Amino acid sequence: KSARRTCLVYFTTYLPQITRCLFSTQELMAPFADVFPVPPLGCNCSIIGDTESKKAVVVDPGGNVQVILEKLEANGLKCDKILVTHGHLDHIMGAEELKAATGASVVLHQDDLSLYNKVDEQCRDFGCPPPPPLPEPDAFISDGDVIEVGEGMKFEAIHVPGHTPGSTTYVFPHHNMCCVGDTLFQGGVGRTQWGGIPSLQGTSNGQQLIASIKFKLMTLDPNLKVVTGHGQGTMIGQEKATNPFIR
């Protein structure tokens, strides 16, 4: 409970009461998708796969890597890429262990490399034990990049700076879902003020965050399901109609 409270205080501007966040395969009506919270701060980790090629990506492996590996194995999937939505500790701490176990390439936006490389400082500020040294990124993603994983499974990267300089949303059209990290929440947006957190001071921009949401995320299909960085998922159309921070 204390870890979840920390997550709510430090990574969101507003987030309603939550229990757990899961989009089931049946609900998505897609080849394969599993979304589940991982420690240390309840980040939503996503396994998104292609049942034809048996390849998958893992988005934001914050922890519990053994659980991630078990889920991949149980569904006959091989992790091809580790996608990082942004460089905050709770979204990246399992990257080394997952890469070592699967050989997957680590992908993020270059503008968050500094945060990624300062994970130990972030862990100090949040009172978390630091992870093993993170692997060097294998590739940097850019706004508008479309990447194919296996046969028929593609995703698009959308650069949405604000919560962090390199925050990136990954859109999976065949799964009708997107992973937005901590940029957008159900009825809320990501935090941009970091008083008392030296490692994150000066790394966020509130005006930039709102612009990213309004002019990039809110132009997506309103029926697109949204996997948020923490807590309950939502839909683009729901947030466009009701989110008080972007109206």
pLDDT digits (tens, 9 = 90+) for 8-39: 334 444 333 333 344 443 333 347 999 999 99
Secondary structure of the chain: what % helix, strand, coil (to 5)?
Answer: 30, 25, 40
Strand, helix or coil at 45? strand
Q: How many other CB atoms are found less than 10 A from the CB of residue 132?
A: 11
Helix (H) or strand (E) holding 107: strand 105-109
Give residue 43's Cα distance to chain centre. Answer: 8
Q: How many residues does the chain have?
A: 247
pLDDT digits (tens, 9 = 90+) for 30-75: 479 999 999 999 999 999 998 888 999 999 999 999 999 999 999 9
Q: Is the pLDDT of residue 151 over 90?
A: no
- The pTM of the full predicted model, rounded to 2 decimals, is 0.89
Q: How many other CB atoms are found less than 10 A from the CB of residue 152?
A: 12
Average model confidence (pLDDT) across the chain: 89
List of residues 6+ apart from 235 with CB closer than 8 A: 222, 223, 224, 225, 226
